[in-house]
DNA sequence: GCTATAAATGAAAGCGCTTACATTTTAAAT
DNA sequence: ATTTAAAATGTAAGCGCTTTCATTTATAGC
């Protein structure tokens, strides 16, 4: 592998000059620039990015933390980030935290150790204090789907409460009066917010919230099934169920079928996230659209603007969810 | 951020000694080792991995190329690789190639430029020659789901032909005589092999292969629907369809429902891959299990063994697909 | 043509580590 | 105690770049 030294030799200039044409930040006369370019081409020169990083204290890579590497939600998020960053020649290092405090922290520290210029974090388990500490340490980062007031400009988020509201309101408008709810893990911020939205919608419609109609799931498919069973045990009269994500909604539909309950004629189901599979299910799932691709892109743009000094990028931090009506929800019989 | 120099000063030893205890490859007396460890702890020292890489010519990171960052198949593959590598303190840099020759090549070169110690590639579009050239260049790599005879030990793969065979044989055993097939893009090796297996199973059962019963899709959900339409146009009498992946099978089922055709009583459907959503569909999808998680893990192990000199790892390169019978396929009426 | 200034280039000091080689310390053997 | 070999530690030269500062070269004004 050719080094900058060989290029400089072949071109008959100094190292510094070669470096200058590579980074073209300083003026270099056209004539020498051509010489250098020619030499580089001739040698098939590729700068050593490790050396560049060490010398410049810039790694040109941004670290990403997701909960899981699989799953449609994080897949879209990663795609969005990588697509956006790649266009600017930045690299993406992805790690997963598995919604576990210890592992999230380890992943973040790893990314910092790798000298990422910035981090994009979908951090669920780590404390606010830790995140605030990161800022104190001078780490550049942006949060996806998490809100911390003190650093709210670093938070790219969806109005989850509004989403929960929309889902529930939709069913109420269809005439449902007994609504069951399957929540995400209550320690997760988004799960709380979605549930709040649900409660708000009930309140606005003068329907009383009933604990027996609310099950706490874990956002996994299987807990949709578990939740439905639990609900039928505790409160058999509901006519619909709103789920805090699509996976659980899918679990509900599957379980309902096993129980011989028809969706939607006997039970309306609404999800949340609008993952790609929501439209492949039968019946197709009414859900709340989570523009995760757009949000991932925005997070990347935030970094490009703040860290890599790209100007002219408009940053928007709060995204609005939209109701996506499909076949799984109909008027109350 | 503390550097090795400050540690050495605090501990009252030389740089070299500090480096030695970090890498503990050379003997260091217990006493000094303790001193150094203490100093490191006191300073909260974290080695600068960039500097380490530059000096040792080892980045401790392995590059991964997938077709897409999203999608259940690649998600599982990435998870497997990251899980395995992380345990050994190695890092994973993930890029996507979008099944496009140019982009795959760019991604691979990027990873090489990033000084990855090794590459794990799910390369579909790039030529055999290019891959062989990589070996000549001295790049360490392993291929997933691709077979090139000259470097077969570097190929972690599924017996796709056997998979195609099993799927088709399953339907034949159920009494089906008119079998439609929806293939993946024929330029992809796995698509070819799966189709070969299908043909072989037909031949073994003395059923003639019919071009009018074979549609070339693109592995996307939508081409399942397109394929079914095309098939009904060209050869209306078939009783089942085997699809080269689950996404297309899902598309087929959805379209069948729209057309008022019942699955499985009027049309049996079989997929391939056993992605997680296969069991969420209605009816649940009979498919061929692709042990991608195991294969991803194996690819990572291969690298650990070859590049990072971990011994005692058994490498297996060909995996055997298994038939997973569910509700979408039944006896021919 | 000569000076003053700006533009282009070069020299060299790092960036924070690893590692070959040299030196010192320790332990073993006599 | 003395010699000798082995073990532990230190010295210093890189790894391939970037960047500051000094130097040289070109440009303009008179």
Tens of pLDDT along A11-35?
Answer: 999 999 999 999 888 888 999 999 9
pLDDT (average), residues B112-118: 87
Q: A328: which DSSP letter?
A: T
Distance CA B299, CA B144 (A): 7
Q: Place A310 in a pLDDT band, splitting at 50, 70 and 90.
A: confident
Q: Which two tokens stand for residue A28?
A: 């270099």
Q: How far apart are CA A173 and CA A331, in angstroms?
A: 8
Contacts of B46 in chain A (CB under 8 A): 109, 113
Most confident of A179-188, B104-113, B114-123, B310-319: A179-188
B70:A76 CB<8 A: yes
For A265-296, b/e burial (b = at least 16 CB within 10 A) is eebbbbbbbbbbbbbbbbbebbbbbbbbbebb
> pLDDT > 70: what percent of chain B?
100
CATH among 3.40.50.2300, 1.20.1260.10, 1.10.287.130, 3.65.10.10 for A59-157+292-319? 3.40.50.2300
Domain B59-158+292-319 listed as CATH 3.40.1360.10: no
Strand C footprint nucleotides (protein C-beta < 7 Å): 7-20
Compute the average pLDDT of residues B199-217. 97
Which carries the bigger pLDDT value, residue A312 or residue B233?
A: B233
Q: For B5 and C14, how far is CA from C1' in angstroms?
A: 14
Average pLDDT over residues B295-322: 94
Q: Which of B56, B61, B48, B55 is nearest to B110 (CA)?
A: B61
Domain positions in chain B: 4-47, 59-158+292-319, 160-290
Please determine, looking at this structure, whether the domain spanning A160-290 carries the CATH number 1.10.10.10.
no
Q: pLDDT value at position B98?
A: 94
Q: For A109-140, what is each residue's pLDDT tens digit?
A: 888 877 899 999 999 999 999 999 999 988 99
Sort out which chain A residues have CB atoms less than 8 A from B91's CB and list them.
93, 110, 114
- Report the pLDDT averaged over residues A28-46: 93
Contact A82 B96 (CB under 8 A): yes
Q: How far, in Å, CA of A23 to CA of A2, rounded?
A: 18
Q: What is the distance between the alpha carbons of residues B226 and B230, in angstroms, rounded to a whole number?
A: 6
pLDDT, one tens digit per residue, over B268-278 is 999 999 999 99
Whole-Å CA distances, A300 to A156, A289, A308, B41: 10, 20, 11, 35
The pLDDT > 90 percentage for chain B reads: 85
Q: Which chain B residues have a beta carbon less than 8 Å from that of A50? A: 50, 53-54, 59, 114-115
The predicted structure's pLDDT at residue A154: 96
Least CB–CB distance from A254: residue in B50, B54, B280 = B280
The three-state secondary structure class of B310 is coil
List bases in chain D with any atom under 7 Å of a protein Cβ.
Answer: 7-20
Residue A253 has pLDDT above 90, yes or no: yes
Q: Average the pLDDT over A71-85 and give the result.
A: 93
Task: Answer whether A50 sits within 8 Å of B48, measured CB to CB.
Answer: no
Residue B224 clears pLDDT 90, i.e. is over it: yes
Residue A82 scores a pLDDT above 90: yes
Cβ <8 Å between B54 and A49: no
The two three-digit tokens of residue B180, written as one number? 């439609």
Cβ within 8 Å of residue A280, ≥6 positions away:
B221, B250, B254, B277, B281
In this chain, the answer to whether the domains covering B4-47 and B59-158+292-319 adopt an identical fold is no
CA of A26 to C1' of C2 (A): 30
- Nearest nucleotide to A56 (CA to C1') is D18
CATH of A4-47, one of 1.10.260.40, 3.30.450.20, 1.10.10.10, 3.30.43.10: 1.10.260.40
Per-residue confidence (pLDDT) for residue A299, from 0 to 100:
98
Mean pLDDT of A129-157: 95
């Amino acid at each position: 592998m050719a080094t900058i030294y060989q290029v400089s030799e072949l071109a008959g200039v100094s190292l510094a000059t070669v470096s200058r044409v590579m980074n073209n930040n300083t003026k270099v006369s056209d004539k020498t620039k051509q010489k250098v370019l020619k030499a580089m081409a001739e040698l098939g020169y590729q700068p050593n990015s490790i050396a560049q990083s060490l010398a410049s204290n810039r790694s040109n890579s941004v670290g990403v933390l997701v909960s899981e590497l699989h799953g449609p939600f994080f897949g879209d998020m990663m795609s969005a980030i990588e697509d956006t960053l790649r266009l600017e020649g930045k690299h993406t290092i992805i790690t997963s935290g598995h919604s576990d405090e210890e592992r999230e922290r380890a992943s973040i520290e790893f990314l910092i150790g790798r000298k990422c210029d910035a981090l994009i974090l979908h951090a669920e388990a780590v404390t606010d204090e830790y995140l605030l500490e990161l800022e104190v340490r001078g780490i550049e980062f942006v949060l996806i789907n998490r809100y911390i007031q003190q650093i709210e400009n670093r938070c790219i988020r969806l109005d989850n409460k509004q989403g929960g509201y929309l889902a529930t309101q939709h069913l109420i408008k269809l005439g449902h009066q007994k609504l069951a709810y399957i929540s995400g893990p209550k320690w997760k911020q988004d799960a709380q917010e979605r549930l709040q939205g649900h409660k708000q919608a009930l309140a606005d419609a003068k329907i009383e919230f009933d604990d027996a109609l609310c099950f706490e799931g874990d956002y996994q498919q299987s807990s949709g099934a578990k939740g439905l069973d639990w609900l039928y045990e505790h409160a058999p009269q509901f006519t619909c169920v709103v789920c805090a994500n699509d996976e659980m909604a899918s679990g509900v539909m599957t379980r309902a079928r096993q129980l011989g309950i028809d969706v939607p004629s006997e039970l309306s189901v609404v999800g949340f996230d609008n993952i790609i599979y929501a439209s492949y299910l039968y019946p197709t799932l009414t859900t709340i659209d989570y523009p995760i691709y757009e949000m991932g892109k925005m997070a990347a743009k935030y970094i490009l603007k703040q860290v890599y000094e790209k100007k002219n990028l408009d940053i928007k931090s709060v995204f609005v969810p939209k109701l996506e009506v499909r076949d799984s929800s109909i008027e109350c019989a």
